[in-house]
Amino acid sequence: MKNIAFYFFGAAVLCVTVGMFWGIQMSISHNHTMAPAHAHLNLVGWTTLGLFGLYYTVTPNAAGTMLSKAHLGFAVLGVLCLVPGIAIAVSTGGEALAAIGSILTVISMLIFPVIVFKNGIGHKA
């Protein structure tokens, strides 16, 4: 059965796969202009989403809540806005999408401690 941890891990795996190919493309072209966007895709997309997925794997009682679904939504939307937003900011100077992505990502990070402090880590007895 696919649970919230699966969706966090699935999004993380997609991010790292795209990030690897993007890094190879930058290396081959010797054009690293998009390195900031690439770095955020790997850090926020792969690492952060993966860690969220790990938390929900080891704390399944936190995974079935409406708050965890909101967490997933804000986290994924944050990456989907932040990374292209940074790319746009670097290439054309428009920063609105990056700002929206940053806000969504911060909201996601503010939701996470609420979930952690409410549910702890691991199984509840």
Residue 74's nearest CA partner among 48, 47, 40, 96 is 48
Q: Which two tokens mark 48?
A: 């952060």
User: Region 7-34: what's the mean pLDDT?
Assistant: 97
Residue 41's nearest CA partner among 54, 28, 62, 25 is 25
Q: Which residue has the higher pLDDT, 64 or 30?
A: 30
**pLDDT above 70: residue 124:** no
Largest Cα separation within the chain, whole Å, is 55
The pair phi, psi for residue 69, each rounded to 5°, is: -70, -40
Share of the chain above pLDDT 90, in %: 94
